[in-house]
Structure 1
Amino acid sequence: MARESIEWALSHGLISNGHRLRRADASGLAGRACPEGPVDRLRLLADLISWLFVMDDACDEDGLGAAPTQLAPTVAALLDVLDGHGIPTDGPAPAGPLGAALGDLCQRVRDAGTPGFLLRFVGEVREYLLALLWEAANREHGRVPELAEYVQMRRHTGAVHPSFTLTELAAGVLPDAASRTEPALVALDLLAADLVCWCNDVFSYGKENLARPDVHNLVAVIAAGGTGSDESSALRAAADRFNESLSAYLTTEAVILATGDDRLRPAVTARRNWIRATYDWSLAAARYA
């Protein structure tokens, strides 16, 4: 599946070679997050993760996200793809290769799921793109966000929600609206998103701080928060925050499972898998080496 996902990225012109994506191991992350899904739907999840890696690298490492005015035309073109739900139009593909690949993802979600699932996916990717503009504005002004603000926005810049959605699709889970609005599942969803993002922050901090220091990391935000934390203390504080939220996650998960509501069990499994997958993948992948 790794070779196919890199070939997909190459075919859409997202990359000129597979070096970065091989180090990122999107298929390995997808397989850990949904170990029993059918190959075609795991490919869809892996291709989404590959697209997100390319977009993130363009913003973080290649300068696209250095300022909102620089990023905005790309975001606008990608929003145009989402507004059309990925339906091809005449003329050149909006946003070039990024837009063509995003359109392909939307079309495949349409074919594999339900209209509601496509709308959910489109909305979540839209939130991700708009959150990237928030990051770009912070970079332009050298602004470090407050911790509460960072926690909220990180759920979107991490693109966790569209990843959860395609994981549920790969697992054959199509929760109805009533299930998704259950307060306990909403709380679990937010905790799972935080845990995935903060795990990523802790593992990526060394590489990010060495190569191109960026304030968009839980460790950096804690260190800059006026508490007098040095780097070592901030890393420990980030790990402590992760462990506290993991405890809260397990408590919330137990409450959901105790209800015996089988509608919620697959969604719970998908989120638990993502938390563990992120940790295991972070240890093994070369992306943050």
Structure 2
Amino acid sequence: MASWLAVAFQLDDHLDTQPDIDHRSLLSGLASAVSGSNPARGGCLETPSGLLSAFSDLYEMTTHSMAAPVRERFAGQVQEYLQALATECRQRRLRIVPSERDYIRMRRTVGAVREAAEVADHFEGQSLPDHLFTHPWHQQLLDAAADVVGWRNDLASWHQEATGGEVHNLVLVLAHTTGCSPEHAADQVRQRLRRRAHQLEALASRPPHPGLAHRAAGMRQWAKGYRRWSADTGRY
């Protein structure tokens, strides 16, 4: 899991800090690795070739022992993640601010909570069958966890991202769409975050199936761990 987080953070930084560059070649290469192609390898993690190499190796290492249905599901999740990153890159390059609804949907995808849950389950020997993974309670739980973590990240980073011209942040999206100040928008996001955290806790307190109990505990841990990390990190 730590390796996936390292690659995800590096990829995020690479895309965010070069908003005027067309990153389609890099993202296409990453998508090819998921579909079974072998991109060129080599280079350090800070370079596109290094990111391709690290991602390809990590994807292969993670999926080679997955059961076929889980591997197929995970591949679909990663492809959706890469497509959302591509949309972000295009909007960033063209200075397009997404609507609030589109942003929240996209934020859930680039937050990669489903992929993270899938990887954790696999290495712990607890991969979910499709009927549990697609259960409405489970999907609602994942969305709530993604919102709590993503919105907390947006609150922590909006000053830095506004300075760098970033548009993909709930605080900045609300400020743009409502015409209010970023500070007022941040207050709105804090209120939403408190409500969403309560919804996450309510969902996690009543898993509908014994096979989903570990997911309820895991999403609680994920949200609480991210809260502690965001308070201590010097990243923002």
One fold, TM greater than 0.5? Answer: yes
Unaligned runs of 5+ in 1: 1-44
Looking at structure 2, the residues matched to 75 and 222 of structure 1 have their Cα atoms a distance apart, in angstroms, of 28
- Select 1:118's aligned residue among 55, 58, 71: 71
Give the total of aligned pairs.
231
Structure number with higher relative contact order (C-alpha < 8 Å, ≥ 6 residues apart)? 1
Please list the CA deviations of residues 38-88 of structure 1 after superposition, one character each: whole Å capped at 9, or x if unmatched.
xxxxxxx11111101111111111x1x435xx111111111111100xx7x
Looking at structure 1, the residues matched to 82 and 55 of structure 2 have their Cα atoms a distance apart, in angstroms, of 12
1:89-108 equivalence runs, <5 A: 89=38, 92-93=40-41, 96-108=49-61
- Select 1:83's aligned residue among 15, 19, 35: 35
Shift of 1:167: 2.3
Alignment partner of 1:66 is 2:43 = no
**TM-score, normalised on structure 1?**
0.74
Tell me the residue number matched to 1:263. 211
Looking at structure 2, the residues matched to 204 and 50 of structure 1 have their Cα atoms a distance apart, in angstroms, of 18
Secondary structure at 1:263 match in 2:
helix
Unaligned runs of 5+ in 2: 43-47
> Following TM superposition, where does structure 1 have runs of at least 4 consecutive aligned residues deviating by more than 6 angstroms?
none
1:51-200 equivalence runs, <5 A: 51-61=7-17, 63=18, 65-66=19-20, 70-84=22-36, 89=38, 92-93=40-41, 96-200=49-153
Tell me the residue number matched to 2:180. 229
Please list the CA deviations of residues 178-201 of structure 1 after superposition, one character each: whole Å capped at 9, or x if unmatched.
111211111111111111111111
**Aligned residues of 2:91 and 2:97 also touching (Cα < 8 A):** yes
**Aligned residues of 2:100 and 2:174 also touching (Cα < 8 A):** yes
Shift of 1:112: 4.7
Structure 2 residue identity aligned to 1:187: Q
Looking at structure 2, the residues matched to 129 and 158 of structure 1 have their Cα atoms a distance apart, in angstroms, of 11
Secondary structure at 2:97 match in 1:
coil
**TM-score, normalised on structure 2?**
0.90
**Aligned residues of 2:81 and 2:110 also touching (Cα < 8 A):** yes
- Select 2:228's aligned residue among 255, 280, 289: 280
C-alpha distance 170-204 of structure 1, shift in aligned 2 (>3 A): farther
